[in-house]
């Protein structure tokens, strides 16, 4: 059983729950940005929660199943149809052999997750089938005409309704300061924790770029060069323009700009569209 890609859309990738544990070799975790949405989609079609599905970013995609199967769409709410007939969001949907599955442009949120019974069975790399858009590990970004293998299907869920809320217009993120908050002025730290930032349209799976109050360095390190050091998921790096960047799933494992703090949980950023307000709050947890 296979899936033929008729229209890949602007950015559709294969994602599972990633490849943790390889940062010491320079390999980031990668995986679905909205892991809970992928887990839900997999449960709905009877897959293991760590099975690979498709992360469909903003612009949608169109696919064809070679044999009858079951699919489910979660994450960003988007128009969803089978052979032109509207299909339900967030429930198992039976698909006849040869039918065309279409996911439209996201109405709320950014990334939809399409699970197919059996899971996307491309060859794993370092234990994961995830596409890493920064390093190129895993399968390539989907292109028109691609054919993806599927695994053995399980028994779909009998759920007929899943509650869903649109992503909020403002996100509140908890951040632990350090390790390089000392490189910044007191006013910079106050601005980070006391003003609102806006999600930039140039954000991607590598990082969420924010625009707002610049974060100036302290006088003693204004021209200093920081040797590359390890960075982690959620690290808030501040490049030369002073605008913070939050590292997401495909982030590099080292960086040369100072990290002013680390966000406890980046998952809300998976569905944050450009223009979303982001506020940071100090965390002692």
**What is the average pLDDT value for the chain, to the nearest integer?**
95
Confidence check: pLDDT of 281 > 70: yes
CA distance 194 to 284: 17
Q: What is the pLDDT of residue 284?
A: 65
pTM of the model: 0.96
Q: What number does CATH give the domain 170-282?
A: 2.40.100.10
Sort residue 234 into left (φ over 0), alpha (ψ -120 to 50) or beta. Answer: left
Tens digits of residue pLDDT in 92-146: 999 999 999 999 999 999 999 999 999 999 999 999 999 999 999 999 999 999 9
Tens digits of residue pLDDT in 252-264: 999 999 999 999 9
What would the two tokens of residue 4 be?
């033929």
Q: What phi and psi, each to the nearest 5 degrees, are found at residue 34? A: -105, 80
138 forms beta bridges with none
Q: What is the pLDDT of residue 224?
A: 78
Average pLDDT, integer, range 15-40: 95
Q: Where are the alpha helices (DSSP H) in the chain?
A: 35-45, 186-194
Q: What is the pLDDT of residue 172?
A: 97
Tens digits of residue pLDDT in 46-71: 999 999 999 999 899 999 999 999 99
Domain regions of the chain by residue span: 2-149, 170-282
Q: What number does CATH give the domain 2-149?
A: 2.60.120
């Amino acid at each position: 059983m296979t899936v033929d890609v008729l229209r890949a859309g602007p950015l559709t990738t294969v994602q599972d729950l990633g490849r943790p544990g390889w940062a010491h070799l320079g390999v980031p975790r990668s995986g679905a940005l909205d892991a809970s949405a992928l887990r839900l989609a997999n449960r709905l079609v009877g897959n293991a929660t760590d099975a690979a599905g498709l992360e469909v970013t903003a612009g949608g995609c169109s696919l064809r199943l070679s044999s009858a199967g079951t699919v489910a769409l979660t994450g960003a709410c988007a128009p969803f149809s089978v052979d032109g007939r509207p299909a339900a969001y967030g429930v198992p949907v039976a698909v006849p052999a040869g039918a065309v599955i279409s996911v439209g442009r996201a109405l709320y949120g950014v990334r939809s997750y399409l699970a197919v019974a059996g899971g996307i069975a491309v060859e794993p790399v370092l234990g994961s089938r995830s596409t890493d858009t920064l390093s190129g590990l895993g399968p390539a970004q989907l292109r028109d005409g691609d054919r993806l293998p599927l695994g053995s299907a399980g028994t779909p869920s009998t759920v007929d309704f899943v509650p869903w809320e649109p992503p909020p217009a403002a996100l509140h993120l908890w951040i632990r300061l350090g390790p390089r908050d000392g490189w910044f002025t007191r006013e910079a730290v106050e601005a980070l924790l006391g003003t609102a930032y806006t999600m930039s349209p140039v954000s991607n799976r590598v990082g969420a770029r924010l625009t707002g109050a610049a974060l100036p360095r302290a006088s003693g390190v204004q021209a200093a060069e920081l040797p590359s050091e390890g960075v982690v998921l959620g690290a808030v790096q501040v490049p030369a323009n002073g605008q913070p960047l939050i590292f997401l799933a495909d982030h590099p494992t080292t960086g040369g700009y100072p990290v002013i703090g680390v966000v406890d949980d980046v998952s809300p950023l998976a569905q944050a569209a450009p223009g979303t307000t982001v506020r940071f709050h100090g965390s002692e947890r």
